[in-house]
Chains A and B, each alone.
Chain A
């Protein structure tokens, strides 16, 4: 389409520790591959290179297309106050694998206050999960409120952790003022196609 900007789009994936960010990345990679989206991934592992290594070994993507950027113990800083090292990594990936359509940036596990700078990403999603507590949307953290896409993961666990999923979704929709909320189970892939549809329409402009 004529309004498609030059260069790869950058999409951020943030959210608390253990909410399923890496599992989500593992689910979206083959879906993007099938639709012909040329992809690279940057991870901001907080303590180790574990997430980057997991993706590199996954067999889902050329390991050279996965880069870890260290956060200097500051997971917020590297995606918000000073995203230059992530921008540098994105530029290096674009030079090496030109042309790329999309660079995914997976934040290190963080808390509800984390947000991405729009100097770094064009669009970002925030992943929470039902096991983290059904009251998370009510807490109105900046990640829940400001993200372009809110993902409620591990939907299958709701009955086991005493969470009313319907109420959690309703509260998330209420605090987000109409911005989309998507329910997923990243272990099975349920709900992930809807995420791809949103990114394709709102970021890649190629639906």
Chain B
């Protein structure tokens, strides 16, 4: 499920890294690693993870639509919000074609304008439909964040391909650390540098990535 060649559009998102590089704020391996750590700890663990959890245990599409609304209002930067929706819709499209259980009802609600298909909600729905346990779902989702950043960093020439693999290995400890912690009662995110970068990306010249 976490295979980077699974066709769900993840390669087109940098989640702020493209602008951080263009601005000279992230320019080497230690910068990329710090970026990945902050994304894991202060966005994925505190916001994506609770939504993932609630999506995987939701009783119906109405509840999923409610989660989508929460993600929508919590996500300030436009390209983060749209990126989350586009990535979620792409994952759902692929699993719609594969007839993964639970996906078609959610996609119908989206087609009717009643749900948004944000990424953590979509991941919860899809991977639960694939029969995965919640701890597996969380591990794959956290890994997807780290792997996505590593790949974007390679394409931005911030890391060599081997360096990217070694960074992913180093990040395993961080992933493990957040996975054993209890998720917060109420979702929140605090990655101001990345969010400002994503806002600046909207009108910047650097446009290899969608955010």
- A→B interface (CB under 8 Å): 45-49, 69-74, 77-78, 81-85, 87-88, 91, 95
Contact = CB atoms under 8 A, between A and B. Distances in A.
5 cross-chain pairs, A with B, having the tightest CB-CB distances, nearest first: A72-B12, A84-B90, A82-B7, A73-B155, A70-B210
Contacts of A49: 207
Interface string B180-207: 0000000000000000000000000101
A51 to B, nearest CB: 11
Q: Which of B5, B7, B89, B111 has the most CB of A within 10 A?
A: B7
12 contacts: A48-B205, A70-B12, A70-B208, A70-B210, A72-B155, A74-B155, A77-B11, A83-B7, A84-B9, A84-B90, A87-B93, A88-B9
A77 B94 CA distance: 15
Given A72-B13, A72-B208, A88 B86 contact: yes
B129 to A, nearest CB: 17
A82 B9 contact: yes
A154 B30 CA distance: 48
A72 B94 contact: no
A71 B9 contact: no
A100 to B, nearest CB: 16
Given A82-B9, A85-B86, A88-B9, A71 B94 contact: no
Contact of A78 (B5, B12, B14, B89): B12
A70 B79 CA distance: 12
B156 interface: yes
B7 A81 contact: yes
Contacts of A72: 11-14, 152, 155, 208-210
Interface in B1-50: 5, 7-14
Contacts of A74: 11-12, 155
Given A72-B13, A81-B7, A82-B8, A88 B207 contact: no
A85 B9 contact: yes
Interface of B: 5, 7-14, 86, 89-90, 93-94, 111, 152, 155-156, 205, 207-210
Given A72-B152, A73-B155, A85 B207 contact: no
Given A72-B155, A74-B155, A85 B209 contact: no
A85 B205 contact: no
A78 B11 CA distance: 9
Given A49-B207, A70-B208, A72-B210, A88 B90 contact: yes
Contacts of B11: 72, 74, 77-78, 82
Contacts of A81: 5, 7
A72 to B, nearest CB: 4
Contact of A85 (B12, B152, B155): B12
Given A73-B156, A73-B208, A88-B90, 9 more contacts: A70-B208, A72-B209, A73-B155, A74-B155, A77-B11, A84-B90, A84-B94, A85-B86, A87-B90
Contacts of A71: 12, 208
Nearest to A77: B11
A78 B86 CA distance: 14
A48 B205 CA distance: 7
B185 to A, nearest CB: 34
B93 to A, nearest CB: 6
A74 B207 CA distance: 12
A72 B155 CA distance: 8
B8 A84 contact: yes
A74 B209 CA distance: 10
B207 A47 contact: yes
A59 B103 CA distance: 40
A69 B13 CA distance: 11
